[in-house]
Amino acid sequence: MFSTAFLLSAGLLLASLPSVANASLSSHFHRDAPWNNRLAKRTYYPAPATDYYTIKTPTNVTIRYKTPGEDGVCETTPGVGSYSGYVDLSEDVHIFFWFFESRRDPARDDFTLWLNGGPGSDSLIGLFEELGPCRINENLTTVINPYSWNNVSNMLFLSQPVGVSFSYQAITNGSLGNSTGGFLNSSQADQTGTWSTLVPDNEGEIDTTDLAAIAAWEALQGFLEALPQLHANRAWQPRKFNLWTESYGGHYGPAFFDYFYKQNEKIQNGSMPGYAMEFNSLGLINAIISETVQAEHYPEFAVNNTYGIKAYNDTVYSYAKFATHMVGGCLSQIQSCIRAAQDIKGGYVKGKITPVATGFQAIAAVCAEAANMCRDNVESMYYNYGDRGTYDIRHPSNDPTPPSYYEDYLNQAHIQKALGVSVNYTGSNSDIYYLFQQTGDFIYPNFIQDLQDIIASGVRVALAYGDADYICNWFGGQAVSLALNHTHKAEFLAAGYEPMLYNGTEYGETRERGNLSFTRIYESGHEVPYYQPQAALAHFQRVIEGLDIPEGKERVTANLTSNGPLNATHTNAYVSLPPTESSKLASWSSSIVASYDALDVLPPPTETPTPA
Ligand SMILES: *[C@@H]1O[C@H](CO)[C@@H](O)[C@H](O)[C@H]1NC(C)=O
Ligand SMILES: *[C@@H]1O[C@H](CO)[C@@H](O)[C@H](O)[C@H]1NC(C)=O
Ligand SMILES: *[C@@H]1O[C@H](CO)[C@@H](O)[C@H](O)[C@H]1NC(C)=O
Ligand SMILES: *[C@@H]1O[C@H](CO)[C@@H](O)[C@H](O)[C@H]1NC(C)=O
Ligand SMILES: *[C@@H]1O[C@H](CO)[C@@H](O)[C@H](O)[C@H]1NC(C)=O
Ligand SMILES: *[C@@H]1O[C@H](CO)[C@@H](O)[C@H](O)[C@H]1NC(C)=O
Ligand SMILES: *[C@@H]1O[C@H](CO)[C@@H](O)[C@H](O)[C@H]1NC(C)=O
Ligand SMILES: *[C@@H]1O[C@H](CO)[C@@H](O)[C@H](O)[C@H]1NC(C)=O
Ligand SMILES: *[C@@H]1O[C@H](CO)[C@@H](O)[C@H](O)[C@H]1NC(C)=O
Ligand SMILES: *[C@@H]1O[C@H](CO)[C@@H](O)[C@H](O)[C@H]1NC(C)=O
Ligand SMILES: *[C@@H]1O[C@H](CO)[C@@H](O)[C@H](O)[C@H]1NC(C)=O
Ligand SMILES: *[C@@H]1O[C@H](CO)[C@@H](O)[C@H](O)[C@H]1NC(C)=O
């Protein structure tokens, strides 16, 4: 299983990463490392996928796809199309996608790309655990999610960068290392399945967010050009584009959107062929955007949060705080990384570290060291000395939420066949995580700069943070919202927090001014749409439809301003940890999962729901 050290250094991998297995837990609620489950199983290899529909786009990209909904996989709402398969960008770059038509009006609704973070984590985490059309039960049956975001938008889930989940350069029999999670070939260890691997020698070339942006754009364009030809598809020519993402998506979102936006302009002005869209919104959920701004909020959140939880003592707090600010500490090493990039021509441009710098080994090493310093001495104190959840401070560190049954669901032959894949599933690719770690991408100053450009372009930018998450806590998210430089910064700072209401319930509080907003969502861990499906859908819908976030009643204008106190002062009830004794913990886990499952049930049809 993963050692503690790995889990901690890999803290940004999404919640589907298993907690360190606790031997006293019953196997039932034991969030076992998936590769341990794999080893326990008899080894069966996925059969080669067959019977695809195939499309060749005008730019020579091949799309191979299937219609899993017709086989009862995931989206079974009558009349709602779903398509999964590959965008084949080259001989050795095959990007997995899963597209769902809107349940409302696919021809007129927006087109939204959803991405999870990692780096190396799969967007199907979001599909199954958060905002997609279905969720998976413990017995591997599916349930329709009535708060799916495809209720109001066409939704595309991409597994990226190549190597993540079903996306592949090569497909190889082998296993995943017990403690690193990295791929091992059959000469290195006994084979346990068929895995997506990077070439050559299992080393991909995508090791920064900015490089991932270029690759993701190619995949998105390939898909969009094929979209009108997907058979029986009703979302055939979407125009309005949204990018929503989470966690390491605080890097992906700003960088991808900024790059996509500029490419889109070239298509619009005719200097490049392609599928042009109208860029509508960028949504960032519990996102790590700027370590420079967010680092100091790790120790603050650990000891002085709105739940009245003190996760570690004053000695540890002082250490983490000192490590943030000391000479040679986290913030100072980030500056060393920036100075290193400035050493070479074109290494640091407009406040951003460029691929010219990151391709230079010595610079990458300085930046990687800065990222390690920050993680190991500031962020990780909570994991080392606390006993609460990485992604939810209300829960124990071996948090049973959200359950990740979907991984087992996707490792079944009949599901793989319906999706058109012939590779075993894993929600996070450790090799990609390590590649990004080696460049220090985590601490780059680039993403706040990208975000400023996007705000200046007039596109709507919405930040939303569940207030119980530690790893991308809302203190840090709020600090980013306040640090951003833009024309209406003063007005944004002066705007007050207004309650965010849905159906008469206050789910959070929002500061908004024109196209920028920051929303704190109460009683929610990292994966907000799992913990607060109603609030997450209402927030998404209001943003993409150009409505105010607190109530969804007013049209957004350049001067729309929220009213209220300058601080988000709502306090939450203290939550004690469950008993550690195994049977009691199992029953607590079971009831907490059931309580979240219950949120997905729509009110009886006799009630008149208040419009979002
Ligand atoms: C890989 O997929 C096959 C189905 O094709 C399944 O039987 C097997 O258990 C999976 N292996 C792992 C390690 O999940
Ligand atoms: C598309 O690829 C084929 C070979 O697969 C090649 O003959 C053709 O020239 C390519 N077309 C374009 C527009 O690149
Ligand atoms: C699977 O689990 C769900 C939820 O617990 C339950 O409603 C359903 O009846 C179960 N199905 C089977 C086949 O056991
Ligand atoms: C989402 O769409 C489904 C199917 O169209 C519908 O039954 C459900 O009520 C919708 N959910 C909400 C929250 O409106
Ligand atoms: C994996 O091994 C199985 C069993 O030997 C074989 O049938 C299959 O072709 C192999 N797959 C790959 C991708 O090499
Ligand atoms: C990995 O873990 C499994 C289950 O704990 C064990 O059976 C296997 O021997 C381990 N493999 C190695 C290479 O240590
Ligand atoms: C906790 O935060 C409050 C403001 O929210 C501040 O007044 C107080 O000094 C902080 N306490 C500590 C120990 O940092
Ligand atoms: C604080 O916690 C650390 C780690 O458990 C411990 O070593 C230290 O003695 C504690 N300090 C105080 C003042 O309790
Ligand atoms: C915003 O502008 C101020 C003043 O010029 C500058 O000190 C700060 O670094 C800028 N912040 C960002 C995130 O660019
Ligand atoms: C806000 O903008 C709208 C049009 O965008 C304008 O009609 C209105 O007068 C403005 N309000 C204020 C207070 O400036
Ligand atoms: C309260 O809001 C102000 C301005 O928005 C901010 O500078 C300050 O840090 C906030 N205080 C707390 C305790 O969050
Ligand atoms: C609206 O709130 C009422 C009262 O809390 C609740 O019974 C109902 O289920 C809610 N409706 C929706 C659509 O969330």
Question: Is residue 66 scored above 80 in pLDDT?
Answer: yes
CB 151 within 8 A of CB 537: yes
Helix (H, G, I), strand (E, B) or coil at 111: strand
Residue at 43: amino acid letter: T
pLDDT band at 202 (very low <50, low <70, confident <90, very high): very low
- Please state which CATH number belongs to domain 4-19+32-299+392-544: 3.40.50.1820
pLDDT band at 612 (very low <50, low <70, confident <90, very high): low
CA distances from 57 to 168, 323, 547 (A): 20, 52, 36
Instruction: Indicate the domain borders of the chain.
Output: 4-19+32-299+392-544, 312-385
How far away, in angstroms, is 55 Cα from ligand 7 center?
Answer: 59
Question: Is residue 24 scored above 60 in pLDDT?
Answer: no
Question: Is residue 195 scored above 90 in pLDDT?
Answer: yes
74 lines ligand 9 (CB under 6 A): no
What pLDDT was estimated at residue 511?
Answer: 98
Atom 11 of ligand 11, residue of closest alpha carbon:
567
Question: Is residue 314 scored above 90 in pLDDT?
Answer: yes
DSSP letter string, 206-253? --SHHHHHHHHHHHHHHHHHHGGGSTT-S--S--EEEEEEEETHHHHH
343 labelled catalytic: no
Q: Which of 515, 556, 559 to mutate to test the pocket of ligand 10 (most atoms within 8 A of CB)?
A: 559
| pLDDT, tens only, 114-152 | 999 999 999 999 999 999 999 999 999 999 999 999 999
Q: What are phi and psi of 570, to 5 degrees?
A: -50, 135
CA distances from 380 to 11, 13, 104 (A): 8, 14, 44
| pLDDT, tens only, 330-350 | 999 999 999 999 999 999 999
Question: Is residue 3 scored above 60 in pLDDT?
Answer: no
What pLDDT was estimated at residue 2?
Answer: 29
CB 165 within 8 A of CB 122: yes
pLDDT band at 18 (very low <50, low <70, confident <90, very high): very low
Question: Exposed, middle or buried: residue 558 (CB in 10 Å: 0-12, 13-18, 19+)?
Answer: exposed
pLDDT band at 1 (very low <50, low <70, confident <90, very high): very low
pLDDT band at 6 (very low <50, low <70, confident <90, very high): very low
Cα(519)–Cα(285) distance, rounded to whole angstroms? 9
Interval 147-162 mean pLDDT: 97
Q: Which of 134, 135, 137, 140 to mutate to test the pocket of ligand 3 (most atoms within 8 A of CB)?
A: 137
How far away, in angstroms, is 551 Cα from ligand 9 center?
Answer: 32
What pLDDT was estimated at residue 237?
Answer: 86
Interval 319-333 mean pLDDT: 98
pLDDT band at 219 (very low <50, low <70, confident <90, very high): very high
What pLDDT was estimated at residue 20?
Answer: 28
pLDDT band at 8 (very low <50, low <70, confident <90, very high): very low
pLDDT band at 600 (very low <50, low <70, confident <90, very high): confident
**What average pLDDT does the chain have?**
90
pLDDT band at 44 (very low <50, low <70, confident <90, very high): confident
Question: Is residue 204 scored above 60 in pLDDT?
Answer: no
Helix (H, G, I), strand (E, B) or coil at 433: helix
Cα(560)–Cα(548) distance, rounded to whole angstroms? 8
pLDDT band at 4 (very low <50, low <70, confident <90, very high): very low
| pLDDT, tens only, 468-487 | 999 999 999 999 999 999 99
pTM of the model: 0.92
Give residue for tokens 């640091």: 348
How far away, in angstroms, is 411 Cα from ligand 7 center?
Answer: 48
What pLDDT was estimated at residue 317?
Answer: 98
Q: Which of 520, 567, 569 to mutate to test the pocket of ligand 11 (most atoms within 8 A of CB)?
A: 567
What pLDDT was estimated at residue 236?
Answer: 80
pLDDT band at 22 (very low <50, low <70, confident <90, very high): very low
What pLDDT was estimated at residue 35?
Answer: 38
Window from 43-52, 139-148, 194-203 with minimum mean pLDDT: 194-203
Cα(30)–Cα(21) distance, rounded to whole angstroms? 7
Which residues approach ligand 3 with their CB closer than 6 A? 137, 139, 141
What pLDDT was estimated at residue 601?
Answer: 82
Which of 297, 395, 486, 526 is catalytic? The answer is 526
Ligand 11 atom closest to residue 479's alpha carbon, by position in its atom list: 9
Atom 13 of ligand 5, residue of closest alpha carbon:
172
How far away, in angstroms, is 560 Cα from ligand 7 center?
Answer: 31
469 labelled catalytic: yes
395 labelled catalytic: no
Window from 68-77, 228-237, 278-287 with minimum mean pLDDT: 228-237
What pLDDT was estimated at residue 453?
Answer: 97
Atom 3 of ligand 3, residue of closest alpha carbon:
137
Half-sphere exposure of 193 (CA within 13 A, CB side): 24
pLDDT band at 200 (very low <50, low <70, confident <90, very high): low
What pLDDT was estimated at residue 42?
Answer: 64
What pLDDT was estimated at residue 432?
Answer: 92
